[in-house]
Amino acid sequence: MINSSNNNLLQLPKKLVTETWLKTYEIKGTGLLRILSGSMAPLINTGDQIVIEKIEPAQIGIGDIITFWREDILITHRVIRKFKREHQLYFIERADTSRHHSEVEATAVIGRVIKIHKGDDREIAFNTVSWLLFNRLVGIGFLASSSAYDIGEKIRWVPRPIRRCIGKIFVAAKYVQNKVLSGKMNNV
């Protein structure tokens, strides 16, 4: 995932680029990464660049998009839940294109996405009220669907009111997502 807009860096060993980028990130508190997978599409597509900022893990909320280490790879996914276990903070993360989720220790998180530079020269800043609400809505919707899926795996039946509520959350999220993709929410 680590890449720079400077193509000369592509010739350098991954470890050297990673270490150099991390040192600069630690000093500046922000960093630019190019996305190499479509796991967060259509919001963040392959080739888009994201700006991440250092943040205390306790300040990360449901719906925030975080960048974290999994083994030696940086991954950027959405937080759908956070909890403490034995005085340690954890997050449940999920890609926007998958129903599968996994646990991430707070110590593995390097930052939160604050901006996306889209491939078509658009920019999306997550510090606006509309984007904060959108990300919370999507995070809550994914949490609800993941919970319903987990419950469904155990009981094979989810009550109709819960299914309706989840459906309404996704209809609202889809409406906002369509606005985003059509470019009508970029400067809100």
Q: What is the pLDDT of residues 4-25, one digit of tens each?
A: 443 333 344 556 557 888 888 8
Average pLDDT of the residues in 126-155: 79
Average pLDDT of the residues in 115-134: 89
Q: How far apart are CA 27 and CA 17, in angstroms?
A: 16
pTM for the whole structure? 0.76
- What pLDDT band is residue 181 in, cutting at 50, 70 and 90? low
- H helical segments located in the chain: 14-28, 129-155, 160-181
Average pLDDT of the residues in 86-115: 93
Backbone phi and psi for residue 83, each to the nearest 5 degrees, phi listed first: -160, 165
Q: Is residue 115 over pLDDT 70?
A: yes
Q: Which of 47, 48, 77, 45 is nearest to 64 (CA)?
A: 77
Q: Is residue 68 over pLDDT 80?
A: yes
Higher pLDDT, 71 or 148: 71
Write down the pLDDT at residue 11: 42
Write down the pLDDT at residue 168: 77
Q: How far apart are CA 52 and CA 70, in angstroms?
A: 17
Residue matched to tokens 């984007």: 131
pLDDT, tens only, 158-176: 677 877 777 777 677 667 6
Write down the pLDDT at residue 117: 95
Sketch out the chain's domains with CATH numbers: 7-181 (2.10.109.10)
Higher pLDDT, 169 or 153: 169
